[in-house]
Structure 1
């Protein structure tokens, strides 16, 4: 193979390896998604080949995601409106409390300076009064109440602050305790409406989450199918490149055959099985997984011999064993070769397995 031909061959191999890198990243993304999905489920009780077809699928998924986002936004708006209606209804209950004859001390913020209550802010961490509550109930921006329970908490704070600052015999303490008891009675009467809305909201949120999960699963399932197709195409491309290389190789010498036979004996059990599968590809009658295998090196085709040589050399390098006896440049064990041997070997294994699957399909 000339310098130009070798350079072109290397470039084509680089293209395939770049494709493999891209595929690996996609595989990691899909694996991470399903790993996260499995964890969530554990904590709960509950390929088109044409580019036009792929574009249509992507457009469909994007449209589906946009629709679900719009639906989710619409549901959030509906939930907010229902809660504002609850707040409005609760305002009527609150008016019954504020119209009580003992409610006047709690209608406005405490005049700390005017009354000379120098220790008030040391005792009361968060002052509260009904005028402040009313302003927040009427606010249209983010400062307003989002849930009726927030109002309930502030009403309780109004009375508990008064009870905390004044002793039990103080009139303000007695008034606050009395009004708090009346408020709690009315809150219990109103509570079923709140519980019903909260249950409805929870169910709707669960539906939205489930729909989003289904959309994600559809997206990643599509990605997985595309990855499978891309891997298959990469396998074919690699097989084509390897076949071109093998066809251009010179005839193996007797000494190289002897060295190859010796190198085969140095392989691990798994690697030896991989080598025998290579032999079986061009020898239909050869049983690679038999208990005893009689391999005649001289009887193998040149294509098979060179495939074996490439495979054995990569396997020995991956094991950290010297491969100088396999022939070629003795500097093949340099750092770059060692770093790349694993990827080369994985590519070889992929080709072998793919070809084996193809042969089985043809035989059936």
Structure 2
């Protein structure tokens, strides 16, 4: 609520009023806190929306207390990330061991007397194979495979199946480019068959490691989801406490505003009634909702309403005045064409804040005595 508006309500012509400045400062502080709470609500809502899509499994509990007790035994997200990194490093080490075992197979194949045509990249220009790249999409040879197996810069093979795939490619390229009766084709097919025999001996270990890694990844994912759920559950409880505190501050602020509201004159009421008729249908509906908040019997949605200005409380009249003033300013700027986006946003936030104060008052009135 701006100082100018507060001074209008109190009849104080001096904008430097210490009391009004204090009130404005309280409003600014509370609006800043509300902004932060809105962001937390958005984060939590976004998390649970994603959780519902992923069908996260979370610890069950019969009460909030049990939920808190369970959280004590759930490692934090940071610890879960550390555990995930540890498992990933262990899995990578086991895979490197399988790659070393695969190296034994590769040596047996490359030491065969028929392996020499496949040890280096095909000399396309030297052999005059002008159509080679039209037939072969991805050339491959054993020196390229060896270099990638020994790479230390992170570009090497990550899985033993990647190497086996490239070994097959060496022979299949040769079989694809050369006639099946040619020596190179026969040599490639023979070595491919020998490789497949030896690969079958290592395959059970590879399959076992893949299954183990899949299970560990599922466990890590579930543990991370549970930790995230526990963290957001705590965040939700903390947010609930903060919202309750903000609710109390809103009520205190409302009482301060009502206390400073002077009595509106008959002429001011007449001008207010005339200004209401200039509102857009949407803003007029919002204005009538302001009246209904403090007057439960008032039918704001009726086709015809009879608004008795003299029957309204001073706080309702001043809230209407502030709302109408802001709404007409926005309408004027919109009809003038462009500009005023920042002021429109500030006006909207102020009206939302006033609505929050009124809703707090209404809720308090409903509580049993």
| TM-score, scaled to structure 2 | 0.70
Specify the alignment match of 1:187 in structure 2.
Answer: 199
For residues 31-69 of structure 1, give each alpha carbon's deviation from its aligned partner in whole angstroms, at most 9, with x where no partner exists: 44344444545xx999xxxxxxxxxxxxx99x8233112
Q: Is the 8 A contact 1:159 1:176 kept in 2?
A: yes
- 1:306 paired with 2:314, answer yes
Q: Is the 8 A contact 2:57 2:222 kept in 1?
A: no
- 1:147 paired with 2:164, answer no
- 1:361 paired with 2:367, answer yes
- 1:277 paired with 2:293, answer yes
Match among 33, 36, 41 for residue 27 of structure 1: 41
Specify the alignment match of 2:170 in structure 1.
Answer: 158
RMSD: 4.2
Q: CA deviation at 1:170?
A: 1.5
Specify the alignment match of 2:120 in structure 1.
Answer: 109
Q: Is the 8 A contact 1:316 1:322 kept in 2?
A: no
Tell me the secondary structure at the aligned position of residue 76 of structure 2.
Answer: helix
Taking the aligned partners of 2:57 and 2:229, their CA distance within structure 1 comes to 19
Aligned length: 326
Q: CA deviation at 1:175?
A: 0.8
Q: CA deviation at 1:273?
A: 4.3
Equivalent residue runs for 1:1-364 within 5 Å: 1=12, 3-5=16-18, 6-41=20-55, 64-106=76-118, 108-110=119-121, 112=123, 116-119=126-129, 122-123=132-133, 126-139=138-151, 141-256=153-268, 268=284, 271-279=287-295, 287=297, 305-316=313-324, 320=328, 339-363=345-369
Taking the aligned partners of 1:212 and 1:45, their CA distance within structure 2 comes to 11
For residues 104-125 of structure 1, give each alpha carbon's deviation from its aligned partner in whole angstroms, at most 9, with x where no partner exists: 433x315738x93243794355
Taking the aligned partners of 1:126 and 1:233, their CA distance within structure 2 comes to 66
Q: CA deviation at 1:233?
A: 3.0
Using CA pairs under 8 Å that are at least 6 residues apart, name the structure with larger relative contact order, 1 or 2. 2
Q: Give the 3 Å change call, closer, same or farther, for CA 256–126 of structure 1 in structure 2.
A: closer
Unaligned runs of 5+ in 1: 47-59, 281-286, 324-333
Tell me the secondary structure at the aligned position of residue 116 of structure 1.
Answer: coil
Q: CA deviation at 1:201?
A: 1.3
Q: Is the 8 A contact 1:278 1:308 kept in 2?
A: yes
Q: CA deviation at 1:75?
A: 0.2
Q: CA deviation at 1:291?
A: 11
Q: Give the 3 Å change call, closer, same or farther, for CA 121–110 of structure 1 in structure 2.
A: farther
Q: CA deviation at 1:153?
A: 1.3
Tell me the secondary structure at the aligned position of residue 181 of structure 2.
Answer: coil
Q: Give the 3 Å change call, closer, same or farther, for CA 313–257 of structure 1 in structure 2.
A: closer
Q: Is the 8 A contact 1:314 1:341 kept in 2?
A: no
Unaligned runs of 5+ in 2: 1-11, 59-71, 332-338
Q: CA deviation at 1:244?
A: 1.9
Q: Is the 8 A contact 2:141 2:170 kept in 1?
A: yes
Taking the aligned partners of 1:22 and 1:290, their CA distance within structure 2 comes to 32
Q: Give the 3 Å change call, closer, same or farther, for CA 183–317 of structure 1 in structure 2.
A: farther
Tell me the secondary structure at the aligned position of residue 126 of structure 2.
Answer: coil
Taking the aligned partners of 1:322 and 1:83, their CA distance within structure 2 comes to 66
Taking the aligned partners of 2:289 and 2:126, their CA distance within structure 1 comes to 93
Q: CA deviation at 1:251?
A: 2.9
| TM-score, scaled to structure 1 | 0.71
Q: CA deviation at 1:275?
A: 1.9
